[in-house]
């Protein structure tokens, strides 16, 4: 069995921006320290929630290096390095490895809509070029292409491919994947409303949006499950479901950025074409945050 990168909850960090739309590294540091103080198990920088697709090359590289330095080995740092251009993904992956990221998260290529053979070739090339573990990220609702269980099986023996962030939303498909490769690849939930179901199938945890505002509670969902308190884990998952739904009432990371702005960790500024929440959605989100004592 390959080495597990983390068990529990990893936060897919927002990227804090100032009023001018530039990365606010002071707030970024505060956010990282909040996460670690709350007991988060790992951090993901420059993922979907971090608006990686609209960061410049320099911003992407600098954000990875900044979080690695700020964390300073206290928890694993996972860098988002995926692209629809394999050579570009390799370049980002090599940079993340060089500056000390503990692993890389590589999304399926968006827009191109690669075949399964194309996915195998791409992930193999990136894993060959990486000196750190690779997590495959499957989110077909955003990329237009999904990874089949048989494709995971074809990639599972690569020594650098160690895990899957599975956000296809199809529990039956996830069960099929774990049945095929669960002894070779760790599986993390990519959806906050499916943490417990995926843990029950043998998953190792979640790469989470919810844990931006609620790292301690997200970790606790996993901890309760791992300690055998399945009922308690389920209860907390269900208790937080209305807030999770509010966090996804518009496309991620629009609500997450809004929530973190209300908590003082960023301005509510997004990179175009993303746009701040509709007023009624924001009001519902804020109400849930007040009920949970977050603001």
Select which of 123, 137, 188, 265 is catalytic. Answer: 137
Distances from the Cα of 28 to the Cα of 68, 113, 163, 242, angstroms: 12, 33, 27, 27
For the chain, give every domain's residue range. Answer: 8-226
**290: annotated active-site residue:** no
Mean pLDDT of the chain: 97
- Tell me, what's the pLDDT at 245? 98
The CATH number of 8-226 is 3.20.20.70
> Does the pLDDT at position 1 exceed 80?
no
Record the pTM.
Answer: 0.97
Three-state DSSP string of 195-238: HHHHHHCCCCEEEECCCCCCHHHHHHHHHHHHCCCHHHHHHHHH
- Tell me, what's the pLDDT at 192? 98
Angle between helices 215-226 and 230-239 (to 10 degrees): 150
The answer to whether 132 touches 97, Cβ cutoff 8 Å, is yes
Tokens of 22: 């530039």
Select which of 27, 61, 132, 165 is catalytic. Answer: 165
Sign of the alpha-carbon dihedral angle for 264, 265, 268, 269 = positive
Calculate mean pLDDT across residues 57-79: 98
Calculate mean pLDDT across residues 144-162: 97
**227: annotated active-site residue:** no
């Amino acid at each position: 069995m390959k080495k597990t990168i983390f068990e529990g909850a990893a936060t897919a960090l927002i990227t804090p921006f100032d009023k001018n739309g530039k990365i606010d590294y002071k707030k970024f540091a505060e956010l990282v320290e909040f996460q670690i103080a709350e007991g988060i198990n790992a951090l993901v920088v420059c993922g979907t929630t971090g608006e990686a697709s609209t960061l410049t090359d320099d911003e992407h590289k600098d954000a990875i290096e900044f979080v690695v330095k700020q964390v300073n080995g206290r928890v694993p740092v996972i860098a988002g390095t995926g692209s629809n251009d394999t050579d570009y993904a390799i370049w980002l992956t090599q940079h993340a490895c060089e500056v000390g990221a503990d692993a890389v998260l590589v999304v399926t290529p968006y827009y191109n809509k690669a075949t399964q053979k194309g996915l195998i070739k791409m992930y193999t090339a990136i894993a060959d070029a990486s000196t750190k573990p690779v997590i495959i990220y499957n989110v077909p609702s955003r990329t237009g292409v999904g990874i089949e269980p048989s494709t995971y099986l074809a990639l599972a023996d690569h020594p650098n491919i160690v895990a899957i962030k599975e956000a296809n939303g199809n529990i039956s498909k996830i069960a099929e994947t774990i049945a095929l490769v669960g002894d070779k690849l760790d599986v993390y939930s990519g959806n906050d409303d499916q943490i417990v179901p995926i843990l029950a199938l043998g998953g190792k945890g979640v790469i989470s949006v919810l844990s931006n505002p609620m790292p301690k509670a997200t970790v606790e969902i996993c901890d309760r499950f791992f300690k055998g308190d399945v009922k308690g884990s389920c209860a907390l998952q269900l208790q937080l479901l209305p807030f999770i739904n509010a966090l996804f009432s518009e496309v991620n990371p629009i609500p997450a950025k809004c929530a973190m702005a209300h908590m003082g960790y960023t301005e509510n500024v997004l990179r175009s074409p993303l746009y701040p929440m509709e007023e009624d959605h924001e009001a519902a989100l804020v109400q849930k945050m007040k009920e949970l004592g977050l603001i």
